[in-house]
Amino acid sequence: MEELVIFLGVFLGCLARSLIPFMRKLAMFAKEHEPFSWDHRYTASLIVAVFVGFVASIFVLPTIVEHGLGSGVLAFCGAFLIGFGSNSIVNEIMKLVGVV
């Protein structure tokens, strides 16, 4: 059960980090009455970040579970932060390389 909570937290963290810039741009374009569509670079960064977040959670979260912190809200929050952070790192690397 802990694994499901952890993987759900990672996925939702990555998804939140992908949707925040999209929603900010959507609001900006809606205010100016211009059309705006989903950019597939958000999808690419989400897929890579979910993979990185899952790999990070596989290595980090067993230690947390071992110390009795692996169930419930604390495990979800830790996984959410890993997902959110991994997506931020992926976005910065994509900017550095010039993909975005």
Element (H, E) at 71: none
The pLDDT of residue 65 is: 67
How far is Cα 31 from Cα 38, in angstroms, rounded to an integer?
Answer: 17
How far is Cα 27 from Cα 47, in angstroms, rounded to an integer?
Answer: 24
Domain ranges for the chain, please list them.
Answer: 2-97
Q: Report the Cα 18 to chain-centroid distance in Å.
A: 7
The model's pTM: 0.77
What proportion of the chain, given as a percentage, has pLDDT over 70?
90
How far is Cα 40 from Cα 75, in angstroms, rounded to an integer?
Answer: 30
Per-residue pLDDT of 24-66, as tens digits, reads 888 888 888 888 777 787 788 888 888 887 887 777 777 766 7
The pLDDT of residue 71 is: 66
pLDDT category of residue 7 using cuts at 50, 70 and 90: confident
